[in-house]
Amino acid sequence: MIAGLSKAITLYLAPVLALTSILLSLFAYLAPTLLLHDRVALLTVVPYSSQPQTGSTQGVDGPSAFLGALGSCTRPKNAAGLNCTTPSLSPQYDLNVLPSNAPNLLLSAPPASAPVFIAIAIAFSILFFILFTVISFRHKMGSKVAALLDKPLLPRASAWIGVFGFIIGITSFLILRMWFAKAVQDFNNSIAAQGQQGPNLIATIGNAFTMVWVAYAFFAVPIISSLTKLNITSTKQI
């Protein structure tokens, strides 16, 4: 039973989790400029009711901004259409819809190196997914192909590609998380310091980061599986 469960995880569950991880990472990376414009973002600025009886954004109209790794999307009010910037590895956020007394300068884009490294990490993840899946199903590809894939070089390269993709990706997103967390804190503190004269806006960390943490939790499963098989192979050769 344990052997069958292990085989099922390696052959079927691990590739599915790897593919899901890639999709979630892509959604978080490409949003909001290319897809999910007002649903997924790294940082959001939305209208906020300062009335004690509400204390939330429910039913409050006003400008909104959705910031991502490649650009931003904004709208002057809830019923208006979204205006998105052109995706770029060195994005310039368009925050003209926010009132003049909003501390827009605090919502600066991260360094260009972060989106670049995320793109590299996603590319590594895609390559690892292809290699891992091919290696896992080598027994269905004929004896010649299986013999070629059984050579230790390819599984070793696949495992290291996955490890590098994981480390580069999660490190880049952690840097972005710290960058935007500081921006959120400074933005909200600046508005609070203005008192009643300040705009009714609030900045929050977006749900894209939740997608990223889930993605890399999923991605860890095929990496661990790949490293385990590599360790077993290396032990047999001693």
Please determine, for residue 177, whether its predicted confidence score (pLDDT) is greater than 80. yes
What DSSP line would sit under 54-81, residue for residue?
Answer: T-SSTT--S-EEEE-SS-EEEESSTTSP
Query: What is the reported pLDDT for 49?
Result: 64
Nearest to 105 by CA among 115, 95, 120: 95
| Tokens matching residue 220 | 């860890």
Q: Kindly list the domain boundaries of the chain, sorted by start residue.
A: 1-236
Distance separating alpha carbons of residues 218 and 171, to the nearest angstrom? 16
Model confidence band, residue 217 (pLDDT cutoffs 50, 70, 90): very high
* Lowest mean pLDDT segment, chosen from 42-56, 88-102, 150-164: 42-56
d(CA 212, CA 132): 21
User: Hey, CA dihedral for 63, 184, 217, 175, is it positive or negative?
Assistant: positive
Query: 203: buried, middle or exposed (CB in 10 Å: 19+, 13-18, 0-12)?
Result: buried
Q: Are 64 and 102 in contact (CB under 8 A)?
A: no
Average the pLDDT over each of 100-104, 162-166, 214-218 and give the range with the smallest value.
Answer: 100-104
Integer Cα distance of 83 and 121 in angstroms: 29
Question: How would residue 48 be classed by pLDDT, with cut points 50, 70 and 90?
Answer: confident
59: left (phi over 0), alpha (psi -120 to 50) or beta: left
Rounded distance between C-alpha atoms, residue 28 and residue 194, angstroms: 33
Sheet holding 83-84, edge to edge: 83-84, 72-75, 64-67, 43-47, 201-205
Does pTM surpass 0.75? yes
Q: What percent of the chain has pLDDT over 90?
A: 37
- The class level of CATH for 1-236 reads mainly alpha
Would you say residue 238 has pLDDT above 50?
A: no
Picking from 169-173, 189-193, 209-213, which range would have the lowest pLDDT averaged per residue? 189-193
> Is residue 103 scored above 60 in pLDDT?
yes
In this prediction, residue 165 carries a pLDDT of 92
Please state, rounded to an integer, the average pLDDT across all residues of the chain. 81
Instruction: Please give the Cα distance from 201 to 138 (Å, whole number).
Output: 55
